Structure formats: C-alpha cells, structure tokens
Structure 1
Amino acid sequence: MTSDTPKLGSDRQHQILRRALAERVVRIKDLAADLGVHEMTVRRDLDQLAEQGYLERVHGGARLLEKTSEELAHQLRATKNTEAKEAMAQAALGLIQDGDVVALDASTTALALARILHARKVSAIVSGLDAANVLAQNGVPFLMVGGNFHAPARSFVGAFFLDTIARLHPDKVFFSAKAFSPEIGFTDPHLPEVGAKQALIRSASTVVALLDASKFARRALATIATLDQVDTLVTDADPPKDIRATLDAADLQLIIARATP
C-alpha cells in the first residue's frame, strides 16, 4: 500500500499553508513581510505549492483549494512537534512486549509509534489509513477496523466501527487527544473521533495516553477519557505542578520522554 499524497516542503511553506488554512487567500506582500523574506521567494513557494495541488495562484497571491484543505490539515498536524512525537513513541515502545496485540488510534502521535512498531513481534489493530500504510510497509500484521470514512483524520468511525471494536480485546491501546485538564480529562473537538477513541479504550486491558505537554491545562469539546480510565501517560515535558499533583493522586504512571536536543 502506498500513498500518493505529495510531501510538504520547507518550514516556510508549512507556515504559508497554515496561513492559507486560516485565511483561505494569502497575499505575497503580506507573507513576505511576516516571514521576513523577499517577495520573489514567496512567489517561488506559492508556485511550488500550486504545482503540488495545494493552492491556486491568483493575482497578488494564492487561494487554498477546498478539495485539499482536509488532507492538508492532517499533513500539517503530522509535521508538528515531530521530535516530541518520536520521543514519546520510543517511550511507548518500551511498554510493549513481544506477543502483544496493540491498538492504535488515528492520531499522528500514534502514527509515530506505528512507524517503529516493527521493533517488536506484535500484531496491531488500527482505524487510520496512515498507520495501516506504515504497518503494511514494515511487515507488521494488523487488522484494520472499517466504518464511515472521516477525512480530517483519515480514519474510520461510526456504528460499524463501534460494533466491530466491541468484539475485539487488545492488550494495550495507545491514543492521543487535543487537550487535557484534571477536571474533565482527555478531550477532543471531533465527535466522530471521540466515539472511536472511547471504544478503543473500553476494549483494552491497558490504556496509554500519548500527549505532548503543550496540551496540558487545555480543554476541547468532548471528553474521551477520565483519569481513572488511563493507566499510563507518556508526555515530552514536566506537567504543571497542579496537574502533576493530580496525576500522582490518581496513581497514574507518568513517563516523560524528552526529545534529544
């Protein structure tokens, strides 16, 4: 299985695309001033992004192509905090033993774990297309749980997914969230993904949350899991003192996986 998705270019082009996602239309003059580069540099970036099918060039700038916006948002999430995700994935791998059946949600953090899962003799359960692609390339046996396709996360959700995952019982599930606060737990704004993550958590013997420290003391629309539903939290930096105290009181294992400088 291979992906036909174009690879994103430089960090500057990432910034341009994030701006386009927010504003839909970007202007060369504004981008040059904000990025501190010559207008000709911005023109070249816009031309390259247009060639890759992300933007449409218009007079004085470019417009985001609607058909690519969801795919683009997913790719930009995958390229954010990559060092932290890789460090957390390595720490998570240390929690996995040969022979385990491991379930992964469709987050880009769990995808980082999928990329190195071949280091263990395991099988996996996945709901995301990208994780399935990686596992297939690396020769890791896996079961893909289908359902309604949810384009923003490139995953499967819905009634069919929920019914199927309820019949499966992995040893360990690894999931991520958009936010965490002690009062309401791990949260996410996308309701279809919330339901899928909840079902994965209910199915497993051991539940591991993968959450970079930027998401502490924040909240999103819906709760995925409360602290009493999670066994281990893997993060990339020390939580704030009040959150650390809450985690300790909950008797939750905390693993801090710092990215290598």
Structure 2
Amino acid sequence: MNDKNAISDKKILNSEERQAYILEQLKIHGKVRVVDLSRDLDVSGVTIRSDLENLQKTEYLERVHGGAIQSLHQYDNMDYQERLLLRRQEKMEIAREILNYINNGDTIALNAGTTSYFVALELKNKKNLKIITNSIPVATELNMNSNIKIILLGGAINSHYSFTYGMDALNQMEKYRINKAIISVDGVDINAGITTFHQEEVDLSAKMMERAKVRIVISDYTKIGRESFVKIKDLDEVDRIITDSKADRNIVEMLKKKGAEVVCAPHF
C-alpha cells in the first residue's frame, strides 16, 4: 500500500473502523500486509492479525503468510462493472503483453472474465482475427470491429458474470480448431494447477484449451500461488502464463522450476 492510503492523522480507530479500512484496501489492491496495516493504522501487528482472523471468519478475506488476500466470497458479491475497475492497471499490463504472442490472422478462443475484456480491447490492434468467446461483454465490444470476426458461443447465460455455458456451448466449441486459447483464471498453483471460481465455465475453458495449438493462461498477481474452487487443467497442459509486474517473484520462480513458462508483464 502507498503512503497516500494511510490514515494521515493517526486517529485511533475502533475494531469496526479498522476492519472497514482493511476491506477497502483489499478491494483496491487485492491483498494486504500486516506490516503495512500496522503502520497505516498505528496499531500493533497482534491487533491487525486479530482483525484479519475475525474477517476471515466472515469469509471476507483469506489469511496468507504475512497478511491476507481478497476472498472469492467478497469478489462474488461485486457486479461486473465493479470487478472491471479492480486492478485495472495490472489487467492492462497483461493485455498489452499478450499482443507479443498474437499474430495477424490467428483464430483465438477467449473465455470470460474482466482480464479477458482488457485483452479484447488490445486485440483491436491486430488484423484479420477470428475470436470465439463465451463472454458477452467481449463479443459486444469487438462486434463492430471490421478486423475481427466474432463467434459468440450459445447456451445458458450466467447473468451475474455475463457469460454463456452448458452443453450447447461445449458442443459448438468442439467443432472448432484454433491457434490459441487465452484463458482467464482465478488461481495458479504449483500443485493445484489452474483453477476457477466458476464451476459453470470450467468445462468450456478446458475444451477451449483442448482445441488449441497454444494455450495461454492470464492471471493478475492476486491469483498467482492461489487455488480456487474447481480445477481446469494441470500446469503441464499450459504453454504460457502471463501475469503482471506485481506477481510474487518467489512463487513465479517456483512455477518456472516446475516447468511452467511465466511472463511478468512490465509496468507502464
């Protein structure tokens, strides 16, 4: 956290006020550290750890070594526009980096997610692409671009997250052979592989990867080293992982030692 987020006048806050501040920082940054919160709130590390433990009991966060990360429960309670604003800079870094691995004329499968949306914005810089997606916002954004042909997979609709899923979408995806699959995930872990919160979408994301020659996973720094609800694929079934400049370097090195190609997009 930056100093500008600190409580400048060191006002003594009660536990409810401290926890509200912690949740706000989680919403902005996706993760918090005990040492930063202790400094910002002018309380002991013991007090902060107690606050984190209490918030974990209500499923607002998940405790990790040295701090906490945003829980899936908290993320799930946000609407699409709120999630689109979260970690916008990091998602833009990933989106710009991925252009280095996309060629004019590629046929690409792109699953749903706010990081996928930012990738879609950058794909407008390429020519003669064919994009197969289950993301309604992605399809809507790219539909009027003359350089891109869009195929929106049909099926049932998850209105909260704005994507299609189900057997109709799976059967349609089975018909296509694609150059690249770009898969947005909620967790990248050495042992758990790549995982997602969305049980409805997991089979379709897996099918996109199976039909692709090159399989690229995109994930912001808060998902690196994290396991989400349901598994999509093992790490050895991924050709490249693209994350942002804030990714934990120790975890990135562990992933590389496991054999994964990990690219940390530069900050801009």
Q: Is TM-score (shorter-chain normalized) higher than 0.5? A: yes
Change (3 A) 1:167 1:77: same
Q: Tell me, yes or no, if structure 1 residue 155 matches structure 2 residue 173.
A: no
User: What residue in structure 1 maps to residue 177 of structure 2?
Assistant: 169
Give the residue type in structure 1 aligned to 2:211: S
Aligned-residue offset at 1:153 = 1.9
Contact 1:210 1:235 in 2 (8 A): yes
SS in 2 for 1:137: coil
Indicate conservation of the 8 Å contact 1:71/1:151, yes or no.
Answer: no
Partner in structure 1 of residue 102 of structure 2: 96
SS of the equivalent of 1:93 reads helix
Percent identical residues: 22
Q: Secondary structure at the match of 2:241?
A: strand
How far off is 1:71 after superposition? 9.6
In the aligned structure 2, how far is the partner of 1:115 from the partner of 1:242? 29
Structure 2: runs of 5 or more not aligned:
1-15, 22-75
What is the deviation of 1:245?
2.7
Q: Structure 1 residue 224: deviation in Å? A: 1.1
Paired residues of 2:255 and 2:262 also in contact (CA < 8 A): no
The separation in 1 between residues aligned to 2:240 and 2:248, in whole angstroms, is 14
- Using the TM superposition, give the Cα deviation of residue 120 of structure 1 relative to its aligned residue in structure 2, in angstroms: 0.8
Within the candidate set 134, 137, 140, 1:130 is matched to 137
* Whole-Å separation in 2 of the counterparts to 1:185 and 1:93: 24
Whichever residue aligns with residue 87 of structure 1, its letter is: E
The secondary structure found in structure 1 opposite 2:116 is: helix
Please point out which of 172, 193, 200 is paired with 1:185.
193
CA contact 1:127–1:156 (8 Å) conserved in 2: yes
Normalising by structure 2, we get a TM-score of: 0.68
Between the aligned partners of 1:213 and 1:71, the Cα distance in structure 2 is 20
Aligned to 1:208, what secondary structure does the other structure show? strand
Tell me the CA shift for residue 253 of structure 1: 2.4
Contact 1:71/1:152, CA 8 A, preserved across alignment: no
2-side partners of 1:234 and 1:194: how far apart? 19
Distance 1:71 1:169, change over 3 A: farther
SS at match of 1:214: helix
Which amino acid counterpart does residue 181 of structure 2 have in structure 1?
A: V
Please give the alpha-carbon distance, in whole angstroms, between the structure 2 residues aligned to 1:224 and 1:198: 6
Q: Which residue of 1 aligns with 2:236?
A: 228
CA RMSD between the two structures: 2.3
1:217 and 1:138, CA in 2 relative to 1: closer, same or farther beyond 3 A? Answer: same
Does residue 118 (structure 1) correspond to residue 127 (structure 2)? The answer is no
CA-CA distance at 1:226 after TM superposition: 1.2
Say if 1:104 and 1:125, in contact at 8 Å, map to a contact too.
yes
Change in Cα spacing, 1:119 to 1:242, as seen in structure 2 (3 Å) is: closer
Q: Partner letter of residue 238 of structure 2?
A: V
User: 1:25-40 counterparts in 2 under 5 A?
Assistant: none
- Is this contact kept in 2: 1:182–1:243, CA < 8 A? no
SS in 2 for 1:220: coil
Specify the code of the residue in structure 1 equivalent to 2:250.
K
Q: C-alpha displacement at 1:72, in angstroms?
A: 5.2
Question: Which of 231, 256, 261 does residue 247 from structure 1 map onto?
Answer: 256
- 1:41 is matched with none
SS state at 1:119 partner:
coil
Structure 2 vs 1, CA of residues 166 and 219 (structure 1 numbering), >3 Å: closer, same or farther?
A: same
Where does structure 1 lack aligned partners over 5 or more consecutive residues?
1-29, 36-69
CA distance in 1, matches of 2:120, 2:151: 13
Instruction: Decide whether the 8 Å contact of 1:84 with 1:258 is kept in 2.
Output: no
**Secondary structure, counterpart of 1:223 in structure 2:** strand
Corresponding residue of 1:48: none
The DSSP-based 3-state class of the residue aligned with 2:227 is coil
SS state at 2:191 partner: coil
SS at match of 2:231: strand
Compared CA separation, residues 85 and 75, structure 1 to 2 (3 A): same
